[in-house]
Every structure is written in C-alpha cells, then in structure tokens.
Amino acid sequence: MSIPQLEDLGDMSGRRVLLRADFNVPLANGEITDDLRIRAALPTIKWLQDAGATVVACSHLGRPKGEPNPEFSLDPVRAVLAQRAPGVELLENLRFDPGETANDPAFVAELIAGCDAYVNDAFGASHRSHASIVGPPQHLPSAAGRLLAKEVDVLLGVRNEPRRPFVGILGGAKVSDKLGVIEALLGICDSLIVGGGMAFTFLAAKGNQVGSSLLEEDQIATCKALLDSGAAIHLPHDITALGPGGKIGDPDAGGEVRQVGTSMPDGWMGLDIGPGTAAEFTDIITEARTVLWNGPMGVFEDPRFAAGTHTVGQAVAECRGFTVVGGGDSAAAAAKFGLADQIDHVSTGGGASLELLETGDLPGLKALRDSSQTTS
C-alpha cells in the first residue's frame, strides 16, 4: 500500500507539525505500567525535530465522555516526553472534547490551527474515524510516521504474502468480537489455533458440555458452520477449570482447580487450556514459518490460569519463523512473561491490527492516501 511518508513532506525546517500519536498507555495509580506506545513514537518525533520542525503532539487516553476528567489527563505521558523527547508540546486528551469522536469539523479546525503539516503515527487508533485521525489530512500536507508505516508494512506483509506454514493463534473472550478476523484468518492461514474464552463456544458447537464456562449461545451455529467447513481449526482437548465457589483473580476465595477433558460438570468454569493442549499447540507453532498471535489462551492475570498463555507465548518466542503479536492482551502477556524481545513484531494496536488484517485497510490510512491527491 502506498501512503505518503515523512520524506514526502519536503523541507520541514521551521514548520509546525501536528503529530497524532497513540499515547493511550496503561496506567495504575497514575503511573504508566507499559511505555511501549511512547517508545514506539520516538523515532518519528526525532526525525521531525532533526529536520527542524516543531512538534505539537496529540492523543486520546482512555474513554472520557467528551469532557475533562483528571483521571484521563495526559500529564503522566507529558512527564515521560519531557525526558525522552524534550521540546515536544503535548495537547490535553483529545477525548475531553466531544468533537473528537464525533469527527466534528469545528474541532478539526481547532486542532490544525497554526500547524502547517500533519503526521499520523497513531497506528493503534487509525481504525477510528475520529477528528484527529481523518480530519487534518483534508487540510494539511500529511504523512505516515515511522511507526504507522512499519505496522502497515509488517501486518499487510503477513496478510498478503506469508511464508508457509502460516499459523494463526486466536484467544480472548468472545467469538462475536473476532468473527470477522476468524473468517479472514481461515482464508489465509494454514491452521488456526483457538484458545481462550472463545474456545468454549466452539467446543459447545461440537456437542461438549462446557459447564459454567464463557459461552455465546447465539454464536454456536456460526462456530458449527466454521468447523463443518473443514477448516484447519485446532481446539483445546484438555482444560484447566475452576470449581464451584472459586473466584477468578482471588485464589484465597477457595474453589478447586482441576484438569478436565472437554466435558465440564455444572458449576465448573474453564479458564485456561490444559497442559496437553499447550504441548500440542507448541508442536504446531514450532513448525510454522509465520505466526500471528492475538489473544491469550486463558485468564493469565490469575497465576492459576497463566500456564497455557505462558507456554504458547514461549513457543511463539522460540519459533524460528517470522512472529507477530497483535497488540492488546497478548502484547501485555508477552511483556509479562518477558518474551517481547524475542518476537519479531509486537504491534502497538489491538483493534487496529485486527481490522487491518480483516479488511486490508483502515480509515486513517485512507485519509492519508486521499490527502496526497488533494493537498501537496
């Protein structure tokens, strides 16, 4: 895909550039717990500053409801930027203004006032048709930052020209959230591994009792059709489950933890793939020449249900093929288990990487392509 690059903006000296970044970082008690998204934006900031531009950065953080809310202030990000990229100005959370998510032209006008170029490096937010993503390219010479360009390169490369065998690994809670991407991946992968909460709807579609595990009744027929199509879908054949009375995230609450097969008694909740399944998935991943991993295999935040995600993550990290982790929970898991450095590409976008894999495009990319035809 051809999108305008930083070099296409021409001479940058003395120019004031509006940089849309995705500084939507995880916070705990006001502290940034993972600064990947800030580090990932630094090459673009440095390039612009070295070229003589003044950088005015902007981002959303969390989901404030269109009004200022100190809980979602960008102050913690501003403090990190002051150290890592001195001289960058950072606007306050874009979503403090209802015009951001509504893509209000008046808010776009406010954002671009005084700026003479626009750079989108917010890969993680480029699936949103929000003011700061799709608005400025209609008015200013615009380009993709280094991070956005790299994400698109890697993910479209995997989508369009994977080395084979290509193994997709999907997990996470819901089939309904990922149906589009399941179908897209079945079209391009040689095999698809399914774990996490979504596996139980597939297991139910095969006639298994799933006890009190997560189940989307209204997706059973869809899962059955996918399985009947003969697609190479690998499901768990053993499960780590929590018995009646137990609480997720609270080992002290009691409740028995047990390895079960694919039939769970009433009151039992499957919360991780079992060791046999983790070993089988490892074998499949080891043979792959391309791996795409999106979504944990279990509730890895609870140590009792972390083993499946840890084992699969380790297999991805040790795979000799080209390995990509879609953002969100699986990126958090890779970081938690210390595996991120061994993975070829850890995407900074969860929803954005899925939408790009599914559709091959994003609203933010289209805005940049259209811009190159109208502005410069």
Q: Which residues are known to be catalytic?
A: 37, 174, 328, 351
Binding track over 13-32 against ligand 3PG, x by CB under 6 A: ---------x-x--------
Given 124, 141, 172, 255, the residue binding ligand 3PG (CB under 6 A): 124
Asked if 100 is part of the footprint of ligand 3PG (rule: CB under 6 A), the reply reads no
Smallest distance, Mg ion to C-beta of residue 326, A: 16
Q: Which does 351 bind (CB under 5 to 8 A by kind): ligand 3PG, Mg ion, none?
A: ligand 3PG
Asked if residue 175 lies in contact with residue 198, where contact means CB atoms within 8 angstroms, the answer is yes
Asked if 323 is part of the footprint of Mg ion (rule: CB under 5 A), the reply reads yes
Q: Which stretch binds Mg ion (CB under 5 A): 74-82, 132-140, 204-212, 320-328?
A: 320-328
Query: Strand, coil or helix: what is 350?
Result: coil
DSSP track, 71-133 = GG-SHHHHHHHHHHSTT-EE---GGGSHHHHTT-HHHHHHHHTT-SEEEE--GGGTTS--HHH
CA torsion sign, 238 to 240 to 244 to 249? Answer: negative
Asked if 314 is part of the footprint of Mg ion (rule: CB under 5 A), the reply reads no
Q: Which does 251 bind (CB under 5 to 8 A by kind): Mg ion, ligand 3PG, none?
A: none
With CB under 6 A as the rule, give the number of residues binding ligand 3PG.
8
Asked if 351 is part of the footprint of ligand 3PG (rule: CB under 6 A), the reply reads yes
Asked if 206 is part of the footprint of ligand 3PG (rule: CB under 6 A), the reply reads no
How far is residue 284's CA from residue 276's CA, in Å, rounded to a whole number? 13
Nearer to ligand 3PG, 93 or 371 (CB): 93
Smallest distance, ligand 3PG to C-beta of residue 282, A: 29
Asked if 311 is part of the footprint of ligand 3PG (rule: CB under 6 A), the reply reads no
Which two structure tokens, joined as six digits, stand for 295?
């979504």
Q: Which stretch binds ligand 3PG (CB under 6 A): 39-47, 124-132, 154-162, 203-211?
A: 124-132
With CB under 5 A as the rule, give the number of residues binding Mg ion.
1
Given 17, 18, 108, 125, the residue binding ligand 3PG (CB under 6 A): 125
Q: Which stretch binds Mg ion (CB under 5 A): 12-20, 118-126, 321-329, 362-370?
A: 321-329
Half-sphere exposure for 52 (CA within 13 Å, toward CB): 7
Q: Which stretch binds ligand 3PG (CB under 6 A): 121-129, 151-159, 162-170, 240-248?
A: 121-129
Of the candidates 17, 20, 252, the residue with the CA atom closest to the CA atom of residue 134: 20
Asked if 240 is part of the footprint of Mg ion (rule: CB under 5 A), the reply reads no
Nearer to Mg ion, 41 or 315 (CB): 315
Q: Which does 323 bind (CB under 5 to 8 A by kind): Mg ion, ligand 3PG, none?
A: Mg ion
Nearer to ligand 3PG, 69 or 375 (CB): 69
Given 63, 65, 164, 206, the residue binding ligand 3PG (CB under 6 A): 63
Asked if 348 is part of the footprint of ligand 3PG (rule: CB under 6 A), the reply reads no
Cis geometry, peptide bond prior to residue 70 (ω within 30 degrees of 0): no
Asked if 65 is part of the footprint of ligand 3PG (rule: CB under 6 A), the reply reads no
Smallest distance, Mg ion to C-beta of residue 286, A: 11
Residues of the shown chain interacting with Mg ion in the complex, contacts defined by CB under 5 A: 323
* Contacting positions for ligand 3PG (CB under 6 A): 22, 24, 63, 124-125, 128, 350-351
